[in-house]
Every structure is written in C-alpha cells, then in structure tokens.
Amino acid sequence: MTETPSKLQRDAARNIVTKYLQVRAGENAIIESWNHTLPMATAMVDEVRRVGGSTLLVHEDEDSWWRAMDRRQSKLLGKSSGPEWAALKAADVYVNFWGPGDTDRIEKDHEYGDEKTFDEALAWNWPWYEVARKAGLRGARMTQAFVTEGRAREWGIPRARWEESVLQASLTDPEETAKTGARLGKALSRGKKVRITHSNGTDLEVALAGVAPRLQDGRAHPYRKGDSQSGMLQQIPAGTLDVALDSKTAVGSFHANRRTNIWWHWSAGGALEFADGKLTSYSFDEGEEDFARQYKQGTAGKDRTSVLKLGLNPTVKDVPNLETVEGGGVSLQIGGNRYLKGTNKSNFFTWFSLAGSEVAIDGIPVIRAGKVL
C-alpha cells in the first residue's frame, strides 16, 4: 500500500514549515487545499503541529466548486464567507495550494473567452491581500498544486516525476539560496549594463535601473513597506534575484529555451528582437496567438524590457512552472515593473526564461553556462 502522504511530501513539508515559514509554538496557521493537494496539505498540518502550532485545514471541494460555476454563481464564489475572513484575521501563517485542479477545463474556458467568469470566481483574492497585510500574516503559495494530470498530459511529462521534481526543489535550504543571491546582488547593485549571451543566438544588452535587487529566497515575512501587494506570500519552491531594468535600453536578441507559464497562459520557444530599447518583433513555437492577444491589450511600456530574474535554486533543471527559479537561469520580463520600484507603468507583463546562458555585468561574467560564479 502506498504511503499517503509520501515520505518526500513529509520531508518537503517539514522543510517548508521549519525553514521557509519558520512556524513557532503557539502560532495559528491556515492550510487551504483542494482535492488534488490534500495529501501534501495534511503533511503541512502534521508539521505545523509538530512544532507546537495550531492549524485550520480549509478544504475547497473541486466538484461542488464547479457545480456552482455551472449554476452561474461565479460572483458568489468570489465572496469569501464571514468565518473565513475572521479566521484570516486571527492567523499568523497561511499556506495556499492553487486550485481548482481541472486545468483542462480552466484552459478551455480561457480559450473560449470565459475568463471574465473565472475572474469573478477569484475576486476574493484582492481584498484578501488587504486583510492579510493588516493582520501581519506571512505565508506561502505552493507550486506543487500546479502539478495536475491535465497539464502533465498536455506537456508530455509523467505527473509523478514532475511532482517529485517540485518537491525535491522544496528541500533546498533558503540560507544557501540567500548566500548565492547576495553575491549576485552585490554585482547588480553597483552595475550599469547587463549582457546575456547563449549559443542559441541570444545576445542582448539591457541597462539596470539603479534600484536595489530583491531576493526571493522563499522565507516568508509579514508585509513590509515597498513590497508588492502580495509581498507577504512566498512562492515555494523559491529562489530568484529580481532586479528592475531602466525600460529604455535594450538591443539585440533573446531566445527562450524554457516554457513560460503565467497563470493560465503559456508559451514555448519565444524569440524576441529589440532595437532602440523596444521590442520590434517576436515569434513562438507554441502559444503565439495567446501572447499576441494579451500583448495587444497592453498599455504603454508593454514593449520595454523591465525586469531580470536570476534563478538561484540548484535543484531545478527544466521543471515546468519553476523556470524562473532554475539555478543559473535568467528570465527577461517586458512590461510593468512598478512592484520592483521601476518606472514602467504598463498593465501588461510577461517573462521569458533561458537556461545555460552567460550573464555579464559591465563586462564581468557572473553566470557562465548556467552556473553562478
């Protein structure tokens, strides 16, 4: 009989609770789960209790949620109940497992223009941040919940192997991630220009905005002034160093060799050309139509480079939904960057990820062949 939760799930949960969330005895934690994430959610409950914390497990039943959607009750789903808000105000720690798990239906709804209904069902998300900020909450969003049968089938990868890779990446020690990030952060803080090259044809030069880089090592903390709206939540597995670009300087080519998946929109093989600071052309192996539709709706600044994300997690190698944290990888963002104290106000943003490149700051290599120097 297969153990549920598995040993790997339990090990990952323990690492997250003790090193990333740093739950202490006497603290209150909310674990929010869907059907497909219950084994890992119960492992989190065990580990919170192991350190002396108290937990509330909130289970959103997938079938009943979709039945409400079928009854056109998306606006009702978008309003959390009074007891949920009360629990949130009393909590110290929050763990969210993304859902629902029927990603085939989600992507079908988006394809046929039903995004508005889905957005209505998730409208609780925006007031949630305000309550969590006032409560001093800290927490995590679990990328493991993105591992579904539908996506595994669509991307041609075994679900079990995919989930194992995500959980293994959750075993990384954030202290080690932080040390690597600190080395890169020093170079970025005093640098002016960044050049990214790769044998696949990538050769791009961009300019830094003179803003301090932001380390995302996965260790959760309450909202701090200057954080993004969701700054009290860390994505796990974690490991990026994010820095704003000046959005005026960009020349050359960038060819992604990892897929990009932001919310329910994904693409592969993005090839971007820049001149005079602007995106002049693009092409994709997959997902170009969806990108073009989103890009067309974007406001001024959508065609400008805005952020570099440097991956710091040494365990990750070509794992779906973890492209930006892959150790030594670089992700280029275009569009808005105000959340990093940049000046680009566009309502559009997306990024493209490249593994195995060389990154040089003012001519000095800091990443070579995908390895942080």
Cα–Cα dist 241/191, whole Å: 15
Percent of the chain at pLDDT > 90 equals 77
On whether the CB atoms of residues 341 and 242 are closer than 8 A, the answer is no
At residue 196, the 3 state secondary structure works out as strand
The predicted model scores a pTM of: 0.92
Give the residue with greater pLDDT, 118 vs 257.
Answer: 257
Domain count, the chain: 2
Flag whether pLDDT at 347 surpasses 70. Answer: yes
263 with 146, same domain: the answer is no
283 with 251, same domain: the answer is yes
128 with 195, same domain: the answer is no
CA-closest candidate to residue 59, choices 21, 97, 16: 97
Cα–Cα dist 299/344, whole Å: 10
CATH of the domain at 86: 3.40.1830.10
Give the tens place of pLDDT for each residue, 252-286: 999 999 987 766 667 777 899 999 999 999 998 88
Flag whether pLDDT at 1 surpasses 50. Answer: no
At residue 207, the 3 state secondary structure works out as strand
pLDDT attached to residue 109: 64
268 with 321, same domain: the answer is yes
Residue ending a domain, choose from 129, 146, 169: 169
Cα–Cα dist 75/235, whole Å: 27
Residue ending a domain, choose from 145, 169, 193: 169
Per the prediction, the chain carries an average pLDDT of 92
At residue 329, the 3 state secondary structure works out as coil
pLDDT attached to residue 264: 61
Non-local CB neighbours of 293 within 8 Å, separated by 6+ positions: none
137 with 199, same domain: the answer is no
Which range of residues forms the domain containing residue 305? 174-217+239-372
Q: Sign (positive/negative) of CA torsion 192, 197, 201, 202?
A: negative
For residue 234, tell me if it sits in a domain. Answer: no
Give the tens place of pLDDT for each residue, 37-72: 999 999 999 999 999 999 999 999 999 999 999 999
